[in-house]
Amino acid sequence: MIDSLGPKIEDRSSKIHVSVDHLTHEYPARHALFGAPSAPTRAVNDVSFAIARGETLALVGESGCGKTTTGRAILRLIEPSSGGVTFDGIDVLGLAREPLRKLRRRMQVVFQDPNTSLDPRMRVGLTVREGIEAHEIAEGAAADARVARALEEVGLRASDAAKLPHEFSGGQRQRIAIARALAVEPEFVVLDEAVSALDVTVQAQVLALLMQLQRDRGLTYLFIAHNLAVVERIATRVAVMYLGRIVEIADAAKLYASPQHGYTKALLSAVPVPDPRVRKKRLTWDGT
Amino acid sequence: MTGEPLLDVRDLVVTYAGDAGDAGDAGGAGDVRAVDGVSFAVHAGETVALVGESGCGKTSVAWALMRVMAPAARVGAGSSVTFDGADLFALEERAMRDLRGRKIAMIFQEPASALNPVMKVGAQVAEVALLHGERSKRAAWDKAVAMLDRTGIADAARRAHQYPHELSGGMRQRVLIAMALMMRPALVIADEPTSALDVTVQAQILDLLRDLQRETGMAVLFITHDFGVVAELCSRAIVMRAGKIVEDAPVDEIFHAPKDPYTAELLRAVPRLAADR
Amino acid sequence: MKLAIGTLALFVFVAFAAPKIAPYDPRATPQSETQKNMPPTAAHPFGTDQYSRDVLSRVMWGARVSLGVAAAAVLLALTLGAAVGALAGYRGGVTDVILMRLVDAFLSVPRVLLLLVIVASTGSLSPAGIALLLGFTGWAGTSRLVRGEVRRMKERDFVMASRAMGSPEWRVFVTHVFPGVMPQLLVTGTLALATVIPLEAGLSFLGLGIQPPTASWGGIINDAASHPGDTWWVVLFPGLAIVCTVLSVNTIGERLREKLDLRERFVQ
């Protein structure tokens, strides 16, 4: 019995790729010119979840719910107040600067707005090349070849490397940001509202691209979004955040079919139906 | 719809001069035709959507109608806009100013930047009345509070004394709506009024707009990129692409039997919940 | 703008070429009795001063000294200011607090007063000394500005993206943060030039700056200070040189600032 159970348990735990334990992040109190300082804001409040290798966990919620802060804390782009993050067993929050920098080859991020996430002064080729050089993956002509391949993989041309970001459309710019993230061959990517700013047709294309890249490379995604309809297409599991806490986390199919939490229900009922013949009943959530 | 339309747009052309701003798509030097011969009509009490993706020219149409345009923008010589019998492009600036806010009002996308941060919201709403003939400040303030109350702001009398930063995004948008509806305009042009809001707040604002529309009988020209919003609120939709109208039809037809392949493509791409399909 | 660039270019040219183009030796006092205090003539277009020196030649050599000192001082101030500001802004935390309190303390002392006190206690300084002094007293404002810019840049998404990429911090700073601060630095430098030139002239006029017989614009005016009404030319020409330079530099600085603002808005 024990023999047959052993490997099974190990197999299951080794599938855990990223785990977040009791993560909390407070923004310091604001000191008003007059009057008492406000209480510190808990942007993220005791958040825990695990992401298995190869899956897409969607982190969904409205503005200010702490989803972006959570994503950034996992990558340690901000230093969370307390809690833990492990990546393949590595204690991310405890890493010194240099090992953390090296680890960033394996965990990447795509931000919401390519207009701000791409350096406007930098040629696209250099932007994509930055990580390749930082991690000494290749140099010279070999690096050029990698840049070209990364651009082609996201549906751009190798010759686009010589252009500046403003010469591209919004969708193309987001493809550049994706190429930059994937050029270092990461295992885990945080997609922080990565398709939210795009037009619907472009959004559909970029979403398809992300799903295909995931299949080809066995990537693990943390997909941060506010639109439950977009999330449904890509997520394996969904965590719903409200005021810094996860109120519900479940397999995608289950969450959409039978949401448990009142807030999840309200969120689902608020998604507009693109059909004038259907009038959905709106549910509200008063936060209790 | 029969009879004279409230708003009649004929062959509207808006061009932007050479290197102005991010006129990206057309590329190169020379003028960019953001709106390229657009004609449509809005009847009294109708809610019409002007839909399209970014850069299709929908916002340029709205700005041209209000005659508030970027310095680099020009309206084509053959363009005409008739509103309530008046030729808008022939009006004196004075007359146009009087029309704006009183008969045609606009609701903007970003309530944060459309409101004056150092002015009480009640005063901003009251100012609309004062600009359009109300003499008594007291009366204007009372009207403003009543209007804020009507847009669903709880405890409006107290809220009117607050500044924009003390209100949530949804509440700020309600203030903008109150400002737009203050003079009971015949036409409201709403430029992506819910795009910057969270879905749950968006749902509330859409409900509010629908109620107000029914109650006042105003016509609404709703500019949006979101077909979900169109289906929720509008009776007719005009689909734009690259400065031109590709389809203009009642929403039921647009959604269930689109004639233009681009409309169909857009609709297919709209993210929707599987449960709503 | 063209006029401003032209004027400044002319002065810079004169400064570099003074040894070649100045008609006389600026320190030569050939016949002090017969040729002193002469109004402008064909031989001396700007006249001569009380020691019979040619004012035109002195103004030309003065450009060399005054502009040289100003340029060196601004360069030093910018470098120091940029370094302190960048360190404070990029590191943040305690480093930031300490450095900025230091800057505050520094800025709370009026610069002119500080200069006077230092010069009074050190005695007369060489032109290099004056440049150092002006540079060391002028970096605080720049550092505050650079700190602000760096903090703003630091929050930009593409800077965070670069860090997330795994780029080393120095590289993030050099490739993404600093280039964004550069244009602002250029504007500040230009405008700083416009304050340093009159400052040096003022010191020299008071006899605390460039020491005679070396010619500097402020110093030349000082030579006529005892009876300015009698020898107006000794005052007028170097004075005009100061005014023209400062006006040109200011115009250029303002224009650069406008361009920068426009571009910033475009990038946003």
pLDDT digits (tens, 9 = 90+) for A48-63: 999 999 999 999 998 8
Rounded to the nearest angstrom, the minimum Cα separation between C106 and chain A is: 25
Domain boundaries, chain C: 2-18+43-267
Contact across the interface for A63 and B169, Cβ inside 8 Å:
yes
pTM of the model: 0.81
Token duo for residue B190:
């709403």
Contact across the interface for A101 and C158, Cβ inside 8 Å:
no
pLDDT digits (tens, 9 = 90+) for B83-140: 998 898 888 888 888 888 889 998 888 777 888 888 999 999 999 899 888 889 999 9
Instruction: Look at residue A14 and give its three-state secondary structure.
Output: helix
Rounded to the nearest angstrom, the minimum Cα separation between C160 and chain A is: 7
Please give the full DSSP string across A230-248, using - where no structure is assigned. Answer: HHHHH-SEEEEEETTEEEE
| Cβ–Cβ under 8 Å, residues B269 and A204 | yes
Token duo for residue B176:
């903008």
| The pLDDT value given to residue B251 | 94
Q: For residue A25, what are the β-bridge partners?
A: A44
Please give the average per-residue pLDDT across B255-276, as a whole number.
90
Omega of the bond leading into C213 within 30 degrees of 0 (cis): yes
Domains observed in chain B: 7-103+190-276 (3.40.50.300), 117-182 (no CATH)
| The pLDDT value given to residue B100 | 87
Beta-carbon contacts of A212 under 8 Å, excluding residues fewer than 6 positions away, are none
| The pLDDT value given to residue A34 | 62
Pick the CATH number of A15-27+40-106+187-288 from 1.10.540.10, 3.40.50.1400, 3.40.50.300, 3.90.320.10: 3.40.50.300
Cα Rg of chain B, angstroms:
19
Comparing CA positions, the residue from B65, B59, B48 lying closest to residue B9 is B65
| The pLDDT value given to residue C154 | 85
Give chains near B: 3+ CB pairs under 8 A: A
Instruction: Look at residue B245 and give its three-state secondary structure.
Output: strand
One-letter amino acid at B143 equals: K
* Contact residues on chain C for A72, CB-CB shorter than 8 A: 160
A199, A227, A277, A283, best to mutate vs chain B, most B CBs in 10 Å: A199
A121, A133, A137, A224, best to mutate vs chain C, most C CBs in 10 Å: A121
Beta-carbon contacts of B133 under 8 Å, excluding residues fewer than 6 positions away, are none
| Cβ–Cβ under 8 Å, residues A114 and A174 | yes
pLDDT digits (tens, 9 = 90+) for A85-133: 999 999 999 999 999 999 999 999 999 888 889 998 899 999 999 999 9
**pLDDT confidence band for B26 (50 / 70 / 90):** very low
- ipTM of predicted complex: 0.80
Please give the average per-residue pLDDT across A69-83, as a whole number.
93
Give chains near C: 3+ CB pairs under 8 A: A
Token duo for residue C201:
């002239």
pLDDT > 90 in chain A, percent: 70
pLDDT digits (tens, 9 = 90+) for B198-251: 888 888 888 889 998 999 999 999 999 999 899 989 999 999 999 999 999 999
| The pLDDT value given to residue C263 | 61
**pLDDT confidence band for A224 (50 / 70 / 90):** very high
Helix (H) or strand (E) holding C248: helix C232-267
Please give the full DSSP string across B93-120, using - where no structure is assigned. Answer: HHHHHHHBTTTEEEE-S-HHHHS-TTS-
C24 or A12: which carries more pLDDT confidence? C24
The list of chain C residues with pLDDT below 50 reads 267-268
Token duo for residue A278:
């259907």
Comparing CA positions, the residue from A197, A261, A202, A266 lying closest to residue A228 is A266
| Closest-CA residue of chain A to B196 | A63
Average pLDDT of chain B, as a whole number:
88
For C2-18+43-267, give the CATH class. mainly alpha
Is the Cβ of A266 closer than 8 Å to some Cβ of chain B?
yes
A101 or A15: which carries more pLDDT confidence? A101
Indicate whether B28 pLDDT > 60: no
* Contact residues on chain A for C175, CB-CB shorter than 8 A: 119, 122, 130
Token duo for residue C34:
């017969």
Residue B100 φ/ψ, nearest 5 degrees: -65, 130
**pLDDT confidence band for A37 (50 / 70 / 90):** low
**pLDDT confidence band for B27 (50 / 70 / 90):** very low
d(CA C59, CA C61): 6
| Closest-CA residue of chain A to B263 | A201
Comparing CA positions, the residue from C143, C75, C137 lying closest to residue C109 is C137
Q: Considering only residues 25 to 84 of chain B, which have any Cβ-Cβ distance to chain A shorter than 8 Å?
A: 25, 53-54
Is the Cβ of A120 closer than 8 Å to some Cβ of chain B?
no
Average pLDDT of chain A, as a whole number:
88
Domain boundaries, chain A: 15-27+40-106+187-288, 117-185
| Cβ–Cβ under 8 Å, residues C197 and C249 | yes
The alpha helices in chain B, defined as continuous H runs, are: 58-66, 93-99, 111-114, 121-131, 137-150, 156-159, 169-181, 199-216, 227-233, 251-256, 261-269
Token duo for residue B177:
């709506």
A87, A116, A146, best to mutate vs chain C, most C CBs in 10 Å: A116
pLDDT digits (tens, 9 = 90+) for A270-285: 888 888 888 888 888 8
| The pLDDT value given to residue B30 | 67
Residue C155 φ/ψ, nearest 5 degrees: -85, -10
Beta-carbon contacts of C35 under 8 Å, excluding residues fewer than 6 positions away, are C48, C52
d(CA C51, CA C145): 46
Give chains near A: 3+ CB pairs under 8 A: B, C
Contact across the interface for B169 and A273, Cβ inside 8 Å:
no
**pLDDT confidence band for B61 (50 / 70 / 90):** very high
